[in-house]
Structure 1
Amino acid sequence: MSEASKTGNFITQIIDKDNETGKHGGKVLTRFPPEPNGYLHIGHAKSICLNFGIAERYQGQCNLRFDDTNPEKENVEFIDSIKKDVEWLGFEWADQPKYASDYFDQLFAYACKMIEEGTAYVCELNAEQMREYRGTLKEPGKNSPYRDRTPEENMALFLDMRDGKYADGEKVLRAKIDMASPNINLRDPIIYRIRHVHHHQTGDKWCVYPMYDFTHSLSDAIEGVTHSICTLEFQDHRPLYDWTLDTLGTFHPQQIEFARLNLNYTVTSKRKLKQLVDEGHVEAWDDPRMPTISGMRRRGFTPAAIRNFCERIGVTKSDSIVDFGMLEHAIREDLDAKANRAMAVLNPIKVTLTNYPEDKEEIFTLGNHPKNEEAGTREVPFSKYLYIDAADFEEVPPRKWKRLSLGTAVRLRGGYVITCDEAIKDADGNVVELLCSYDENTLGVNPEGYKPKGVIHWVSAKHAVDANVRLYDRLFSHEAPDAKHEDKTFLDFINPESMTVASNAKVEPSLAQAEPGVGYQFEREGYFCRDLKEDGMVFNRTVTLRDSWAKIEAKS
Structure 2
Amino acid sequence: MTTEPALVSNFLRTIIDNDLKSGQYQGRQWAPPPSPAAVRLAGAIDPARIRTRFPPEPNGYLHIGHAKSICLNFGLARDYQGICHLRFDDTNPEKEEDEYVRAIIELVQWLGFSWTVDGAEHQYFASDYFETLYQFAESLVQAGHAYVDEQSADQMRATRGTLTEPGTNSPWRDRPMAESLALLRDMRAGKYPDGALALRARIDMGSPNINLRDPVLYRIRHASHHRTGDAWCIYPMYSWAHPVEDALEGITHSICTLEFEDQRPYYDWILERLTELGQLAAPLPRQYEFARLNLSYVVTSKRKLRQLVLEGHVQGWDDPRLPTLAGLRRRGYTPGSIRLFCDRIGVSKADSRIDYSVLEQALRDDLDPVAARAVAVLDPIKLIITNFPADLTEPCSAPVNPHDHDGPRREFPLTRELWIERDDFREDPPKKYFRLFPGNLVRLKYGYVVRCTGFLKNEQGEITEVHCEYLPETRSGTPGADAIKVKGAITWVSAAHAVAAEVRLYDRLFREAHPDRGDQDFLQAINPDSCRTVQGWLEPGIQAEPGHCWQFERLGYFVADRHDSSIERPVINRAITLRDTWI
- Regarding TM over 0.5, the answer is yes
In 1: Cα distance, 2:174 partner to 2:295 partner:
48
Q: Does 1:73 align with 2:95?
A: yes
Q: Does 1:528 align with 2:550?
A: no
In structure 2, relative to structure 1, the CA distance for the partners of 1:156 and 1:16 (3 Å cut) is same
Listed as ranges, the matches of 1:67-216 within 5 Å are 67-94=89-116, 95-216=121-242
Per-residue Cα deviation, 1:219-275 (whole angstroms, up to 9, x for no partner): 000000011011111000001100011111124201011111111112111111111
Which of 49, 66, 75 pairs up with 2:71? 49
| Contact kept? 1:266, 1:481, Cα under 8 Å | yes
Say which is worse superposed, 525-534 or 113-122, in terms of deviation. Answer: 113-122
1:448 Cα deviation from its structure 2 partner: 7.0
Which blocks of at least 5 consecutive residues in structure 2 are unaligned?
28-48
1:206 Cα deviation from its structure 2 partner: 1.0
In 1: Cα distance, 2:444 partner to 2:194 partner:
71
Which of 471, 495, 502 pairs up with 1:461? 495
Task: State the partner residue of 2:573.
Answer: 540
Per-residue Cα deviation, 1:333-385 (whole angstroms, up to 9, x for no partner): 11111111100000111112222222211221211111213541111122111
In 1: Cα distance, 2:570 partner to 2:57 partner:
36
Which of 515, 518, 525 pairs up with 1:484? 518
In 1: Cα distance, 2:238 partner to 2:131 partner:
16
Per-residue Cα deviation, 1:59-111 (whole angstroms, up to 9, x for no partner): 11000001111121111111111111111111111414211111011001111
Per-residue Cα deviation, 1:104-163 (whole angstroms, up to 9, x for no partner): 110011111111112111112222212111111111110111212212211221122112
1:514 Cα deviation from its structure 2 partner: 3.3
1:312 Cα deviation from its structure 2 partner: 1.4
Which of 37, 40, 59 pairs up with 2:62? 40
In structure 2, relative to structure 1, the CA distance for the partners of 1:263 and 1:298 (3 Å cut) is same
1:515 Cα deviation from its structure 2 partner: 3.2
Q: Does 1:382 align with 2:414?
A: yes
Secondary structure, aligned partner of 1:240:
helix
Secondary structure, aligned partner of 1:450:
coil
Q: Does 1:12 align with 2:13?
A: yes
Letter in structure 1 aligned against 2:581 = S
Per-residue Cα deviation, 1:40-61 (whole angstroms, up to 9, x for no partner): 1111111111101110111110
| Contact kept? 2:544, 2:571, Cα under 8 Å | no
Task: State the partner residue of 1:506.
Answer: 537
| Contact kept? 1:404, 1:420, Cα under 8 Å | yes
Secondary structure, aligned partner of 2:247:
helix
Say which is worse superposed, 514-523 or 75-84, in terms of deviation. Answer: 514-523
Which blocks of at least 5 consecutive residues in structure 1 are unaligned?
551-556
Task: State the partner residue of 1:336.
Answer: 368
In 2: Cα distance, 1:169 partner to 1:195 partner:
8
In 1: Cα distance, 2:366 partner to 2:156 partner:
52
Secondary structure, aligned partner of 2:582:
helix
In 1: Cα distance, 2:139 partner to 2:406 partner:
66
Letter in structure 1 aligned against 2:59 = N
1:6 Cα deviation from its structure 2 partner: 2.2
In 1: Cα distance, 2:498 partner to 2:539 partner:
5
In 2: Cα distance, 1:458 partner to 1:333 partner:
26
1:449 Cα deviation from its structure 2 partner: 6.3
Task: State the partner residue of 1:352.
Answer: 384
Task: State the partner residue of 1:472.
Answer: 506
Give the % identical residues.
55
In 2: Cα distance, 1:185 partner to 1:320 partner:
25
Task: State the partner residue of 1:554.
Answer: none
Say which is worse superposed, 438-447 or 35-44, in terms of deviation. Answer: 438-447
TM-score w.r.t. length of structure 2 = 0.91
In 2: Cα distance, 1:495 partner to 1:464 partner:
32
1:289 Cα deviation from its structure 2 partner: 0.8
In 2: Cα distance, 1:363 partner to 1:143 partner:
86
Bigger share in helix = 1
In 2: Cα distance, 1:483 partner to 1:467 partner:
39
1:519 Cα deviation from its structure 2 partner: 2.2
Q: Does 1:223 align with 2:241?
A: no
| Contact kept? 1:340, 1:375, Cα under 8 Å | no
| Contact kept? 1:404, 1:453, Cα under 8 Å | no
Letter in structure 2 aligned against 1:537 = P
Task: State the partner residue of 2:331.
Answer: 299
Letter in structure 1 aligned against 2:261 = Q
RMSD over aligned Cα atoms = 1.6
In 1: Cα distance, 2:55 partner to 2:26 partner:
24
Secondary structure, aligned partner of 2:578:
coil
In 1: Cα distance, 2:496 partner to 2:220 partner:
68
Task: State the partner residue of 1:430.
Answer: 462
How many pairs were matched up?
A: 546
1:452 Cα deviation from its structure 2 partner: 2.9
| Contact kept? 2:474, 2:482, Cα under 8 Å | no
| Contact kept? 1:43, 1:268, Cα under 8 Å | yes
In structure 2, relative to structure 1, the CA distance for the partners of 1:185 and 1:448 (3 Å cut) is closer
Secondary structure, aligned partner of 2:94:
helix
In structure 2, relative to structure 1, the CA distance for the partners of 1:451 and 1:373 (3 Å cut) is closer
Which of 51, 64, 76 pairs up with 1:29? 51
In 1: Cα distance, 2:91 partner to 2:412 partner:
57
Task: State the partner residue of 2:41.
Answer: none
In 2: Cα distance, 1:237 partner to 1:178 partner:
14
Letter in structure 2 aligned against 1:548 = T
Which of 405, 418, 421 pairs up with 2:450? 418
In structure 2, relative to structure 1, the CA distance for the partners of 1:416 and 1:4 (3 Å cut) is closer
| Contact kept? 2:138, 2:181, Cα under 8 Å | yes
1:31 Cα deviation from its structure 2 partner: 0.5
Letter in structure 2 aligned against 1:139 = E
| Contact kept? 2:84, 2:122, Cα under 8 Å | no
| Contact kept? 1:410, 1:452, Cα under 8 Å | yes
Letter in structure 2 aligned against 1:380 = F
Task: State the partner residue of 1:238.
Answer: 264
Secondary structure, aligned partner of 2:320:
coil
Task: State the partner residue of 1:396.
Answer: 428
Per-residue Cα deviation, 1:147-195 (whole angstroms, up to 9, x for no partner): 1221221122112211222222222111111111111111111111111
Say which is worse superposed, 424-433 or 145-154, in terms of deviation. Answer: 145-154
Secondary structure, aligned partner of 1:509:
coil
In 1: Cα distance, 2:239 partner to 2:114 partner:
26
Secondary structure, aligned partner of 2:524:
helix
In 2: Cα distance, 1:264 partner to 1:3 partner:
25
Per-residue Cα deviation, 1:387-425 (whole angstroms, up to 9, x for no partner): 001111110000010111112121111111222212111
In 1: Cα distance, 2:370 partner to 2:474 partner:
30
Say which is worse superposed, 164-173 or 420-429, in terms of deviation. Answer: 164-173
Secondary structure, aligned partner of 1:129:
helix
1:453 Cα deviation from its structure 2 partner: 3.6
